[in-house]
Amino acid sequence: MYVSDLKGVGDKRLQDLNAAGIFTVRDLLMHFPSGYRDLSRITPLSDVRPGGMYAVRCTVCAPATQAWAKGLLITRCLVTDGTGEITCVFYNQPWMKSNLSVGRSLLLYGRAELKGKKVQLSSPAVESEAGIQPVYKPIGGVPPKTIKQLIDKALSAVRGTLSETLPDEIINTFSLMSAEDMLFAVHQPENTRVLEEALYRHSFENLLLFQIAARLMRTIGKQGVSVFVDSPDEFLQTLPFPPTNAQRRVLSEIANDLRAPSAMARLVQGDVGCGKTAVAFGAIYLAAKKGFQCAMMAPTEILARQHYESARAMLDPLGISCGLLTGSMTKKEHALAKENIASGAWQAVFGTHALITEDVVYSSLGLVITDEQHRFGVRQRTMLSEKGQGANVLVMSATPIPRTLSLILYGDLDISVIDEMPAGRKPVKTRIVPESKREGMYGFIRNEVRAGRQIYFVCPLVDPSEAIEAVSAEDLYESLKSDVFPDLTVCLVHGKMKPKDKDKEIEDFRTGKTDIMVSTTVIEVGVNVPNATVMVIENAERFGLAQLHQLRGRVGRGGSEAWCFLMADANDRLKTMCETNDGFIIAQKDMEIRGPGEIFGTRQSGSMLSDLINENTDANMLKTTHELAREILKREETDETRQKLVRSAEKWLSEKGEIVLSAN
């Protein structure tokens, strides 16, 4: 049944739905809510505490007021429920004042925030009915309310007709909800228990099918380019520093993969500063020396250019020619780059997603490297590898990942871990700094700049917000530039800037033209400034541990003593950052505290990762589905459970727009 068959879907709505990949009623039902409002638990106002989401029944007890502040029209009203009073604040909703007449009864749902010394409800939703209400994101021009109506119609139309995607054996063994019951419970939850069971079933199924698919991709063992490389020792002897034993071991594993008849598919992960890039360049050297072309793809132009410059310094003297291809190049530069790639004049090519565009033709592509894999989909990695017949694939990840998660995220890859840091690399000293010590920190920073060092300040927000109590990059930039360090050069970088402007500011900082950079987390990955020695993270309590560790890794890259200051009140979570510099320990702790989904920021809809790892996933589910997939695929191909799961896994991956597996 197609969505066009549903009443209320006209040409414009159909166009928006189709553009989002929604063609059938099943596609629509798989558009899950982005969250839920639990209006089944009404909280007395006397029990409302800052930081929580609450449903409250109350009455307006004073006339609403409106006033402008920082470009926002702010509506305030006082409400009571007999147990206490609280102020409700609405932003840029001019109609609200007339809806808040004294004596009106309201069912509100919103977040409690501390403003000054008083608790307020910030932008609460005015609800019409109790219960658990799904919250949908708009699809193009189709608003959330309409999406809810269409989904309700779709559920009525398909009741009793939806087929099961998991074998009975799996459903019975693990006491899972049926596929049809799961969809009804996700969109029309009766209570929190039923909703939790439905979300568990969904996460369990996706994890299981993905792992079966990933294992099948490995067992297919596609024919690859065999590169009869020499011993890595020749390359390792050319390094300007003594390689670690871990680097030697991992490069040997890569060399063995390159010599094998099947295509290499290996993940190399390690902590910030462990020397992954040198290992990647070693792989390029080994393959290029035997006449094969190599391509290395990075998620940003800045990172691609940094790799190119580093590679030229390391590989040019060894006779390996290097080139760069990015989207911002001029038409003439593009044409010349593509000519050098096609002719094989460039043995190693560095770039962004421009490397996988249709008009880029390679000479004899034998090795493909993707950097920061969590930013690329399996599809992009495959598109690049398919530029060469059976090209070997090496994936570099600078985000330390707990082993359990590695097995899930990179199920189609062999995994190498560089678990040793180069000699002489000093750990970054991390301290929690309360607001009362800010002036003292500023004095320390001034001394660092006088000594010729550079400083990062990272903020959780770009713009000031009335709704969120946090330092914004724009406000801090103005304060540092005008009041605190008027004699120093300060720049501002954030994701709302034009890429060209952002790249210029980062480049100026990298080349030492700027003393202090104020930014959001856009500098979390790929900005390499050896001269930067201090990282200040504002409102550190708003960041996850893994993200704090990535930000901390931006300093201490030049051998000088480096510091990371966490601007926050001390708590056990942040103390972990002060106790260890081991990214794998921190990532494990982060997963235990926040869950796998939060670590990877997978709440965005439509992402393959969000289907695999989300807030409903726990370490036990990861382990259970991993072992189950392994056990199922050991069975005979005639096994009914195995056959159904393989078919479902193939269908699941093809629906994600990813690799379609060969039948097995």
Instruction: Assess whether 436 and 551 both reside in one domain.
Output: yes
Q: Which residues pair with 86 in a beta bridge?
A: 79
pLDDT for 378 equals 52
What residues have CB less than 8 Å from 532, skipping those under 6 apart?
Answer: 453, 454, 455, 456, 554, 555, 557, 558, 562
Instruction: Assess whether 396 and 479 both reside in one domain.
Output: no
Tokens representing 83 are 């147990």
Q: Which of 480, 475, 283 is nearest to 371 (CA)?
A: 283
Question: Is 93 inside a domain boundary?
Answer: yes
pLDDT for 373 equals 47
CB 99 within 8 A of CB 77: no
Question: Is 132 inside a domain boundary?
Answer: no
CATH code of residue 11: 1.10.150
Write the DSSP assignment of 208-265 as a string of letters: HHHHHHHHHHHHH--B--------THHHHTTSSSPPPHHHHHHHHHHHHHHHSSBPPE
Question: Is 607 inside a domain boundary?
Answer: no
pLDDT for 606 equals 37
Alpha carbon 173 to its chain centroid, in Å, reads 33
Number of domains the chain is built from: 5
Question: Is 599 inside a domain boundary?
Answer: no
Instruction: Assess whether 336 and 245 both reside in one domain.
Output: yes
Residue-wise burial string across 183-192, b where 16 or more C-beta atoms lie within 10 A, e elsewhere: bbbbbbbeee
Instruction: Assess whether 337 and 404 both reside in one domain.
Output: yes
- Evaluate if pTM is beyond 0.85: no
Instruction: Assess whether 144 and 202 both reside in one domain.
Output: no
Q: Which residues pair with 640 in a beta bridge?
A: none
Instruction: Assess whether 575 and 630 both reside in one domain.
Output: no
pLDDT for 663 equals 31
Measured at the CA of 260, the angle between CA 233 and CA 275, to 5 degrees, comes to 40
Q: Which residues of the chain have pLDDT under 70?
A: 217-224, 372-386, 388, 403-412, 424, 463-470, 524-527, 592, 594-619, 654-664
Which of 557, 580, 603 is the C-terminal boundary of a domain? 580
Instruction: Assess whether 338 and 461 both reside in one domain.
Output: no
233 to 239, 247, 289, 294: CA distances (angstroms): 10, 11, 14, 20
Instruction: Assess whether 167 and 155 both reside in one domain.
Output: no
Q: Which residues pair with 75 in a beta bridge?
A: 66, 90
Which of 580, 609, 634 is the C-terminal boundary of a domain? 580
Instruction: Assess whether 190 and 242 both reside in one domain.
Output: no
Instruction: Assess whether 441 and 414 both reside in one domain.
Output: no
664 burial via Cβ count (<10 Å: 0-12, 13-18, 19+)? middle
pLDDT for 375 equals 47
pLDDT for 266 equals 86
Instruction: Assess whether 393 and 525 both reside in one domain.
Output: no
CATH code of residue 50: 2.40.50.140
Question: Is 585 inside a domain boundary?
Answer: no
Instruction: Assess whether 466 and 414 both reside in one domain.
Output: no
CATH code of residue 439: 3.40.50.300
pLDDT for 607 equals 45
pLDDT for 659 equals 40
**Which range of residues forms the domain containing residue 248?**
233-418
Write the DSSP assignment of 468-503 as a string of letters: S-S-BHHHHHHHIIIII-TTS-EEEE-TTS-HHHHH
Which of 389, 418, 447 is the C-terminal boundary of a domain? 418
How far is it, in rounded angstroms, from Cα 357 to Cα 383? 9
CB 43 within 8 A of CB 5: no
CB 576 within 8 A of CB 548: no
Residue-averaged pLDDT of the chain: 85
Q: Which of 284, 273, 371 is nearest to 320 (CA)?
A: 284
Question: Is 214 inside a domain boundary?
Answer: yes
Question: Is 590 inside a domain boundary?
Answer: no
Question: Is 346 inside a domain boundary?
Answer: yes
User: Which DSSP helix (H) or strand (E) runs through 88?
Assistant: strand 85-91
396 to 238, 323, 487: CA distances (angstroms): 22, 20, 41
How far is it, in rounded angstroms, from Cα 165 to Cα 27? 15
- Condensed to tens digits (0 to 9), the pLDDT of residues 377-393 reads 555 556 666 676 778 88
